[in-house]
Structure 1
């Protein structure tokens, strides 16, 4: 009888009854076709609606519970993951300890623990320091605290200066006096940038001094201590190993003979792969953490603004157009000196994507990594020397360090976006290399023709650069036999791009391998150095075009060429920054040439520091 009543009920009443079944258990015995024991429901569509609503209600309940206890759920998940990793790490150390893999796992674990600990208590530590500072100001007075701060600053000045002077004189002067030539280069570069400064009287020497001091300390740790050199050598090998995985994708797309087309099918895929990897690291937050820490470190040591410091730290990993995205909202509000520092940082460094490509030409990865790190404080120091701060900025540093950037939905989207973004970079590198090499050939042919008309043989662009940039090569500490080769590389880097310069440097490195093999195979072998620096191997009848570079010169060249400071990059940077801050495009255009020169000088300054500490190892 009840079923008959249901069948004759109006549609609206039937719907209301079904809804009451879902929300009121008292109606359970009246209507649940889904719960009848094996009986076919008389209305299949109604049964389906009831089941769907039941699932929806369950989803709502689960979602509500998760929303209410979201923090607790994730704490449990994180605890389980951490406990699982601790168990894995302990067993891995027990199972196999002492090889390279165990140390690699240990380093990654320690870094991860430090990041987690800083994330948990780093903010509290900074709050305690700030509270202590405010308490001192309130108790002792602002003037007393200022006097104390100035006293500490000058004490650190004296300590740093004494350490640099004594170490340079004793350790380097007595053991490697040839390296002291690089001091002339450092002094010359600083003097030239000072007398050409926009306002020499307003130069703040604090960022200049500490920028160079940090460079000096970094170089001392990397090139003079066994553990520092070993650490960067280990990082360089790991970087080379990671970059080697790009061959898998290149081989799949281009076939087994992809290495026959070295640049197109082996070098450019490295850029795509590394760009995708960097995007993934940004997604998981690793890059932001490192950049934020380095930015605060530079701001504290050099007393520079948060925007320019954060950008300088980011330039270690990202390019001149990608890195300013982190400070994009503040670009219209920045002072001219800050904008100049941002531009100089972009010119003085290279992105991680192309840095990986240079390794394929035989350039040592450990020195490329060191050059990227050392050029960050150098860029700030030289920028503040040639374009000192004369304005005040109202930008809140806390807002800058939040690093508000668009984040992909998941890691797959991040990897895909990174690969897609690299398309323009790959195309830009490819067309620029093709264009500039062709233009160089045209220029060389024209110069040879013009020189031949007046009796001058082999007048080329390389020959002109070998004389124009010879003094810079010499004061950087390059051995005289390699000064002209280094001068040519500087010319390639400045008037074309650093890619062409590293390609030419790679040829010299390959020549060095051939020459070493030649002398090792034939102990009494002979060779002839030709006027154009070519080396003719007499017994093999082979000519090494361009000659070879000594190991010391290779190291210094690696640091000097590691930057985007060239004429072509000026247009790229103006276009990129101008699109982010259209209101500042006129300022960017006016400062572009000065910033490009400052970026070059920062690279040369880093090379001088490397030449000062070189001790005979690659």
Structure 2
């Protein structure tokens, strides 16, 4: 039955992308690339969930990030003192301390990898491999790899010399990749709220899913003379080790504070809306309940049981209108009432930056690099969220094949 629902989910996702396609005939010609990417997703997910090697890799990665969180806890406890209750396992769970502040430590490690030239080497190598698999130009392949490690802003900065040379279709692909990914600095934070295996699976599945959706919704071919190389734009060039380390630590702190501020604002506003809706005579539904019912059919065709589709739809809608952290926090209070398969699919769906707020982040970043390109992205902002949401849906559907 899982296989049947998975096939239905894939076909429905393809259909939703097909409806919004800019060139359906050209999209159909990409079927070989799409089929290969689907096969790779299924093979990867099988390795992660059905083999000893895959499970061992997940356990090792979870262990590493767990240790990083422990060490981050030592730093947090030193700064905040009695506000943090330290014990053998780290410290008592407080969202800001346990989830957000460790971002600073991960960001510092990213800075070290950048300084040692390790991360750029990995990104370029993976970009070359992806260009062979996806059939897309190197810029798109490089950007897909970079989006797995860098934030929505940093990934565009790494291509600042190429951005002015790209047209609308190629900018859509780059933006969809940025919105469908997460940054490496967020991985540990997500692992405190979701099962590590689903976070790891989502990172790779989203990487491949975005190429599938883009092949359908935004197909194009790149002339040989426009297949630019990703000349590295290194904003850290000439800086000393401690300058780079300080910059990345500062960036991590800024991210932690910004996310914290957004969570306070979004959660408070949702609470206000929930109460306002409950004041309407005869209406016994909150704002979030209504969102859940709107997304309920989508959750159902993904393969989530009808009895759980409203709650799953609520989480999906919450992520879309707020951000993934708000949805993940809500997920904690209801996940025990959901089946393991629904938990897996929802978890994978939540791991990305696909929400309305990301439009502003991407447009603002690109406008800062090249004003005309930023304005171009702003024009297809809603379609960008639509495509990135389909990426999350497709990744969640693939997971559904392997969790019962």
TM range (shorter): over 0.9
Which residue, 203, 216, 223 being the options, matches 2:49? 223
CA positional deviation for 1:607: 0.7
Q: 1:295 to 1:574 in 2, by over 3 A?
A: same
Structure 2 residue matching 1:245: 3-state secondary structure: helix
1:488 maps onto 2:314 in alignment: yes
The residue that corresponds to 2:171 in the other structure is 339
1:590 is aligned, of 379, 385, 390, to: 379
Aligned to 1:351: 183
1:423 equivalent in alignment to 2:273: no
Distance 1:230 1:179, change over 3 A: farther
User: Which residue in 2 is equivalent to 1:247?
Assistant: 73
Query: Runs of at least 4 residues of structure 1 off by over 4 A?
Result: none
Alignment correspondent of 1:555: 344
Q: Quick one: which of 14, 23, 28 aligns to 1:190?
A: 14
Give unmatched runs, 5+ long, in structure 2: 85-90
Given that residues 2 and 400 in structure 2 are in contact (C-alpha distance below 8 angstroms), is that contact kept between their aligned partners in structure 1?
no
Indicate the larger mover: 281-290 or 602-611. Answer: 281-290
Post-superposition shift, 1:505? 1.3
Alignment of 1:21-170 (within 5 A): none
* Residues 1:407 and 2:236 aligned together: yes
Deviation digits for residues 133-170 of structure 1, max 9, x if unmatched?
xxxxxxxxxxxxxxxxxxxxxxxxxxxxxxxxxxxxxx
How many pairs does the alignment contain? 395
Which is higher, the Rg of structure 1 or of structure 2?
1
Instruction: Output the TM-score relative to the length of structure 1.
Output: 0.61
Does residue 386 of structure 2 align to residue 601 of structure 1? Answer: no
- Distance in 1 (CA, whole Å) between partners of 2:354 and 2:224 is 27
Quick one: distance in 2 between partners of 1:312 and 1:370? 16
Aligned equivalents of 1:305, 1:312: Cα separation in 2: 11
Aligned-pair distance for 1:261?
7.3
TM-aligned CA deviation for residue 260 of structure 1: 6.1
Q: Does 1:213 align with 2:39?
A: yes
Question: Is contact 1:343-1:592 (8 Å) kept?
Answer: no
How big is the alpha-carbon RMSD for the aligned residues of Structure 1 and Structure 2?
Answer: 1.9
Q: Name 1:504's counterpart in structure 2.
A: 330
Instruction: Write the deviation string for residues 321-372 of structure 1: whole angstroms up to 9, x where unpaired.
Output: 11122211101111322111111111111112222212222x1122212211
Q: How far has the Cα of 1:396 moved from its partner?
A: 4.9
1:597 deviates by 1.2
Q: In structure 2, what is the equivalent of residue 573 of structure 1? A: 362
Matching of residue 310 in structure 1 with residue 310 in structure 2? no
Contact 1:295 1:309 in 2 (8 A): yes
Q: Secondary structure at the match of 2:386?
A: helix
Q: In 2, Cα distance between the equivalents of 1:567 and 1:318?
A: 19
Partner of 1:202: 26
* Larger RCO (alpha carbons 8 Å, 6+ apart): 2
Q: Does the CA-based 8 Å contact 1:320-1:347 persist in structure 2?
A: yes
Show the counterpart of 2:131: 299
Gaps of 5+ in 1: 1-176, 513-547
| Contact 2:363 2:375 survives alignment (8 Å) | no
2:87 aligns to what?
none
Q: Which residue does 1:367 correspond to in 2? A: 198
The partner residue of 1:276 within 96, 108, 127 is 108
- Name the residue aligned to 2:400: 611
Check conservation: 2:140, 2:174, Cα contact below 8 A: yes
Asked if residue 456 in structure 1 is aligned to residue 283 in structure 2, the reply is: yes
